[in-house]
Amino acid sequence: MQGELLLGASSTPGTTTRPAGTAAELSALCRQAEEAGADSLWAVDHLYWPHPIGEAVTTLAVAATATTRPTLGTCILQLPLRQPAAVAKQATALQLLSGGRFVLGLGVGSHQPEYRRAGAEFHRRGRALDDAVSRLREAWAHPGPADDPGGGEAADYVQEPRSAPVPLWFGGASPAARRRAAREGDGWVPLFLTPEDYADALGTLRAETAANGRDPDAVEAAVVVFARVGDDDEAPRLGEAWLSELYRLPPKAFRRHLVAGTPETCATALSRFVDAGARHIVVMVAGSRAVQHFGLLRAAFVAGDRPVLAGSPT
């Protein structure tokens, strides 16, 4: 397991505090996360949200200059809400700024009001994502003469500078999201799955990947897990309340999906995802002081002689 930290919701729900503050404050936060052992830093993407939240691409640009080791990624960027050619340019820029450490996590999200505010069609978001991924690849590919039979003008209009290929990870636990990852993803990073459900879905993903003529292990196995470090009796209640305020859902909606308790209790719970096949566990701390919680959790995980994988998830 890598020590991976989701920083996209670092502000306390219900307040008007900026999620990350100034560039200097965000840089300090990212450096603290790196020092705490985070192998990856991830940013959430929402254009419209009930609480303050940083813009994902801008946040990661600051993180790229503040850190030297962690992989940086979007978890996940809702591509149907954005212009694909612009995202392609941003992804290339982040890959160059970070020295090849960027992962573009993509998905459709699940919040209909956000789509309505953004002027996008919620009910065709899956098809829109597939179309947009094709547009990403078109933007990254340099056209040849056959692509512009009218005179070769298109060859003069390309996205430069180019970077190493940007890995595409797909979020979502639905069968459609899993099939998309199997068809063309470099990674799969779902949310809201128990270890048992994850093991079953991962087995299906491997079979679907092979059915697409790919190596069954071509797709990196990742998962997002909510975690709250604290007292075994109190942490579950506090974590559920925090997530309830953030997502505006009943606390019981998170009961099966929250890892909560002492660092040792949380580490034991996370190890079940490792046993289920996860190579990357992206921890979203259900509370403030995310880096402190993460540091305690990662230390307990390592102390338990559990495998911590080094390197980049590309």
Per-residue pLDDT for 197 more than 90?
Answer: yes
pLDDT score at 16: 34
Inter-residue contact 284 to 254 (CB < 8 Å): no
pLDDT score at 11: 34
Residue, of 9 and 224, whose pLDDT is higher = 224
Handedness of CA 79, 199, 225, 305 (dihedral sign): negative
Nearest Cα to 90, choosing from 139, 132, 51, 123? 139
Among the listed ranges 39-53, 248-262, 300-314, which one has the minimum average pLDDT value? 300-314
Q: What is the dihedral of CA 45, 237, 305, 4, to 10 degrees?
A: 10
Mean pLDDT, residues 187-211 taken together: 97
pLDDT in tens, 220-236: 999 999 999 999 999 99
Among the listed ranges 170-174, 243-247, 300-304, which one has the minimum average pLDDT value? 300-304
Per-residue pLDDT for 312 more than 60?
Answer: no
Mean pLDDT, residues 167-189 taken together: 97
pLDDT score at 306: 59
pLDDT in tens, 40-50: 999 999 999 99
With 0-12 CB in 10 A as exposed, 13-18 as middle and 19+ as buried, what is 96?
Answer: middle
Q: What is the pTM of this model?
A: 0.91
98 contacts: CB under 8 Å, gap ≥ 6:
60, 64, 72
Inter-residue contact 37 to 4 (CB < 8 Å): no
Per-residue pLDDT for 311 more than 50?
Answer: no
- What angle is formed at CA 257 by the lines to CA 194 and CA 5, rounded to 5 degrees? 100
Return the structure tokens found at 75: 């978890």
Nearest Cα to 270, choosing from 311, 307, 245, 220? 307
pLDDT score at 20: 52
- Give the domain ranges of the chain: 2-145+158-303
Nearest Cα to 115, choosing from 106, 124, 105? 124
pLDDT score at 3: 61
Per-residue pLDDT for 252 more than 60?
Answer: yes
pLDDT in tens, 23-36: 999 999 999 999 99
Largest CA distance in the chain: 71
85 contacts: CB under 8 Å, gap ≥ 6:
135, 139, 159
Per-residue pLDDT for 164 more than 70?
Answer: yes
Q: What is the mean pLDDT of the chain?
A: 89
Nearest Cα to 30, choosing from 63, 75, 79? 63
Mean pLDDT, residues 72-81 taken together: 97
pLDDT score at 157: 87
Per-residue pLDDT for 95 more than 60?
Answer: yes
Domain 2-145+158-303 has CATH 3.40.50.2300: no
Q: How many CA atoms lie within 13 Å of 80's alpha carbon, on the beta-carbon side? A: 23
pLDDT score at 303: 85
User: Model confidence at 115, in pLDDT bands (50, 70, 90)?
Assistant: very high
pLDDT score at 152: 59
Per-residue pLDDT for 77 more than 80?
Answer: yes
pLDDT score at 18: 46
pLDDT score at 31: 96
